[in-house]
Amino acid sequence: MSLGGAFEGTKEAAEKGTDRNDHQHCFINDGKRNSSKRKTFEEPVKEKKRTYYFITFLAFLVLVVCVILGFATKESQNQLDQTQLQIKYLTNIIEALEEKVAELSRITQTANKWTPVNITEIGSISFSTLGIQIFKIPLNVIPKEAKEILINYTFRSGNENEGWVNVWLWTEDEEGLQYKFLKKSYRYPQSAISFDNENIWVPFFNLKPHIYVTVDHLETRNCHGATISVLGYR
């Protein structure tokens, strides 16, 4: 081989090497451009995904809050309904009590009113016997519609055997139930006369218009006795 041929061959080889290098450089540059394009394309997609996930998370939080508020609102409504029922119940009780108070007030006002009659003595109590004494209530003085009668009990003593005397007075209903009152008096030995006087309301039953009396202390030496009179009714 001549020197010129060798030189040309070396030149061709150098040119071919240069061509390969240029080709490789272009390929590398194309790879970089493609990678850059992929990054440019992928970044908006990732941003969209992040935005989507964030919005989804916010929607989930809103849903949870709404559910919690819904339960809370329902519970509050239930409590409000129960409170309203309790208020209504208490209001009904108060109204019923007010009616009872008004009724008791009317009864009290009626009870405080009574009709007087001419003082009518219905008997003198005897202290010579321990048995039951019966005194009739005159129906021409006390009407059958009366529920109670006002009687007067008067006891006198003086220059007698000293000691306590118990006097029981009562009326009876149709079934025999007794409504008793006890009047306690005292006998004095001194010559002066002393007396005890009291007005008593007793139940009245028109089927048994009587006052029943018993005593536990007898006195016959100088007994001044006791009387029962009717004063009124209601």
119 vs 110, residue with greater confidence? 119
Strand, coil or helix: 229: strand
Which pLDDT tens digit goes with each residue over 52-65? 788 888 888 888 88
Q: What's the pTM value of the predicted model, to 2 decimals?
A: 0.54
What's the sign of the alpha-carbon dihedral 33, 37, 40, 46?
A: negative
What is the pLDDT at residue 65?
81
Residue 40 phi, psi dihedral angles, 5° rounding:
-60, -35
pLDDT > 90 in the chain, percent: 38
Which range among 24-28, 130-134, 152-156, 186-190 shows the weakest confidence by mean pLDDT?
24-28
Q: How far, in Å, CA of 28 to CA of 196, rounded?
A: 141
Torsion of CA 139, 144, 149, 152, to 10 degrees: 0
Spatial CA neighbour of 215 closest among 167, 180, 169, 183: 167
Sign for the pseudo-dihedral over CA of 200, 202, 204, 210:
negative
User: How confident is the model at residue 3, as a pLDDT?
Assistant: 43
Lowest mean pLDDT among 15-19, 115-119, 157-161, 221-225: 15-19
Question: Within 10 Å of residue 4's Cβ, how many Cβ atoms?
Answer: 8
The predicted structure's pLDDT at residue 63 = 82
Instruction: Say what the pLDDT of residue 190 is.
Output: 85
**Each residue of 165-185: pLDDT tens digit?**
999 999 999 999 999 999 998
**Paired strand residues for 214:** 168
Between CA 215 and CA 130 the distance in angstroms is: 6
The terminus-to-terminus CA distance of the chain in angstroms comes to: 166
Backbone angles phi, psi at 182, to 5 degrees: -110, 130
- Pairwise CA distance, residues 230 & 154, whole Å: 12
Which tokens is 95 given?
Answer: 């109204």
pLDDT at 9 over 90: no
pLDDT reported for residue 41: 54
Question: Residue 7: what pLDDT?
Answer: 42
Q: How far apart are CA 63 and CA 76, in angstroms?
A: 20
Q: What average pLDDT does range 183-193 have in this prediction? A: 86
